[in-house]
Structure 1
Amino acid sequence: MNRRFDLIAFDWDGTLFDSTAAIALSIQDAVRDVGGTVPTLDVAKYVIGMSLQGALRHAAPDVPADSMVELTNRYRYHYLKRQEEVNLFEGVLPLLDLLTARGHLLAVATGKNRRGLDEVLDSTLLKGRFDASRTADETAGKPNPLMLQELMAELDVAPERLLMVGDTTHDLQMAVNAGCASVAVSYGAHHPDGFEAFGPLFIAHSVADLQQWMAGNA
């Protein structure tokens, strides 16, 4: 089968996993706990996809540096309480089945930490479906291109054969920085009005929309 892309790298939160609300609300609760200025939901959503430390610093700039460990711990506490509320977006498993059947390599490139990603992979039907993954705590966070560069090196894929799929401008900028193509999804953390500046090949408004595009264009 002719393929335009050998490797398809997915962001996690807001792209495959319906966790945007849980993350944003947990950021707000954590900042409130440590006495900082609580960010708006839009600000809390904007930082999704960054490394956790970078996200919290951006969302809570008035929280002093010596309170960042406490802020991080409070975020993890609140997110853990909400974990039962988040699930895969409908249609993710059929999408991955289609791409695997077409012979694509699949990877995850996420702002989550390694422990968090491994825990959720082990507890969902996604276990064993990805050929490689990178998390923000083991490499550089988005939009630095290093995690995509490492995935390409591990799987021996050239930049022009990699497609990045994500729901934030951080994902799209990372793809630009790595010299790779991208597809954006509008159902996650960032408003799609900001996507066009980064030149995605397509903006999907649902997982079904994404699968239809992939079937004819990936």
Structure 2
Amino acid sequence: MGFSRRLVAVASGLLHNAAAARPASQQMYACSRLGSSAALRQLNEKNDKKSLVIFDKDGTLICFHSMWVPWTLETAKRIEEHSSLAISDKIFKLLGFCPHQQKVRPGLLAEGTMAQIRQSIVELLTDHGVEVINAHKIVSDAVLECKTHSKHTLKEIHDLQKLFGDLKRHGVKIAICTADSRIGTMGMLESLGLNTMVDRVVCGDDEGAMPKPHPRNALAICADLGISPEQTLMVGDTVADLGMARSANLGGSVAVLSGVGEHHDLHHLADHMVDHVGDLMPIVLGAAKIGSSSAPLNL
């Protein structure tokens, strides 16, 4: 069974168990367009300001495609060179990359950890007759870490200094939960001058971390920062991000359309849907109703 199929099975089980515990109001997923000014006018009857926002990284804070498309092309090329197999197309399919559109779609690359990606490529190689020991060596030599803090690939989706500053001024804590490596994640934060503004970071290669949509990472962040899950908002661009919010019974989830997930992929799991994180503040401050959304953003 492929990784994507296993992920869907895990997500489905976790989401089913968590759904019953959600308030009925949290299960409304209307997708009518609401501009930020309209959302501000339609204040909730009670203040639902959140105390913590957990952000996914790639596709949510920084552009996924500018970073991972070059990595995918280079990785496929290196695998072919090291294995002498013409399997680029199969690698693209495995990772969820469309070579014609030069975009990453929901799948292994967008939702898995680097360890899961490497293991899946090992299995692909063994399926093509490569011995297991040799397959591991090929992957070790060919599948390199993505340079996620390179100035050539690092592209902010929104002014993150301003966004994080606004959150801090309102007393909201900030966390990042990503499948990417700690080296790459901390390098990104350092490059953008955000490292001192983030209260907690959980990465895919941290000891004890579990891949999304497992709730462990989100619940650990809440516990470490002393904030209840009900006062926490999850922001992400994939089913795995939103699934983690559900499985951890967080106070809400926001789907951003700036990454790999599209409206039809995410709307049934999200409490809110926005173009990008620049539209987030009214939701954090409790000034946007459940189901508020906006049209897709084309990057």
Q: Could you state the TM-score of these two structures normalised by the residue count of structure 2?
A: 0.64
- Map 1:93-172 → 2, pairs under 5 A: 93-138=161-206, 139-172=209-242
Tell me, yes or no, if structure 1 residue 52 matches structure 2 residue 122: no
Question: Match for residue 15 of structure 1?
Answer: 60
Q: CA deviation at 1:209?
A: 2.5
Name the residue aligned to 1:189: 260
Shift in alpha-carbon separation, 1:116–1:72, aligned structure 2, 3 A? farther
Match in the other structure for 2:147: 80
Q: Secondary structure at the match of 2:280?
A: helix
Unpaired segments ≥5 residues, structure 2: 1-46, 81-86, 127-131, 290-299
- Which letter does structure 2 place at the counterpart of 1:92? L
Count of matched residue pairs: 215
Q: Distance between the aligned counterparts of 1:59 and 1:162, measured in 2?
A: 36
What are the ranges of 5 or more consecutive residues in structure 1 without an aligned counterpart?
none
Judged with a 3 Å threshold, the aligned counterparts in structure 2 of structure 1 residues 22 and 60 are, in CA distance, closer, same or farther, namely farther
Greater percentage in helix: 1
Answer whether contact 2:62 2:156 (CA < 8 A) is retained. Answer: yes
CA displacement at 1:57 relative to structure 2:
4.5
- Identical-residue share of aligned pairs (%): 21
Query: Which has the larger Rg?
Result: 2
Aligned-residue offset at 1:3: 5.2
With over 3 angstroms needed to count, the CA separation of the structure-2 counterparts of 1:72 and 1:214, relative to structure 1, is: farther
Where relative contact order (Cα < 8 A, 6+ residues apart) is larger, the structure is 2
1:187·1:206 contact (CA, 8 Å) conserved in 2? yes
